[in-house]
Amino acid sequence: MAMVDVGLGVQMNMAMNGIVKSEMENSYDSSIAHKSKDVSLKDLSNRLAEFAHVRGWDQHHSPRNLLLALVGEVGELSEIFQWKGEVGKGLPNWSDDEKEHLEEELSDVLLYLVRLADVCGLDLGQAALTKIIKNARKYPVAVINQNSISSYN
């Protein structure tokens, strides 16, 4: 089956999950083999742009296509939690394999979101900080704390 036949999201997932290897990916493997504490959105954006460019995928990375791929990945993420009921913080009683699967699906969602923002010409990090400020104004601490106290009394 040709790469074009399987669809953009599957192509990116196949390549990102190591089914399609290149020398560039091997250099990425060695450069990110050790876990880094801080990875910037800009670094992810740059790596994704280069990843898509060297494969000739830029023509397929329209905002619409990336959004649809993102929605598909959110669906896969949702499936992990679908029948688990309420899950505690820290994922108690989850196996290492389940946690790894969750990491992979969360990463897929993040990577498509970062790529979508980049293709749209948006600074996702700055947009997120701006949104936090807007939410802080919309939900001031004093009002939220007062409402929380009164709702329990």
For the record, the structure tokens of 78 come out as 């949702």
pLDDT in tens, 118-127: 999 999 999 9
Residue ranges in the chain assigned as alpha helix (H): 3-6, 8-16, 23-32, 41-54, 63-81, 96-119, 124-138, 141-152
- Judging by beta carbons within 10 Å of its beta carbon (0-12, 13-18, 19+), is residue 62 exposed, middle or buried? middle
Does pLDDT of 87 surpass 70?
yes
Question: What secondary structure letter does DSSP report for 88?
Answer: -
Name the CATH superfamily housing domain 42-52+60-79+98-135. MazG-like (1.10.287.1080)
User: Is residue 108 within 8 Å of residue 140, measured between CB atoms?
Assistant: no
The pLDDT of 72-96, averaged and rounded, is: 96
The reply to whether the predicted model has a pTM over 0.75 is: no
Question: Higher pLDDT residue, 99 or 144?
Answer: 99
The pLDDT of 21-43, averaged and rounded, is: 66
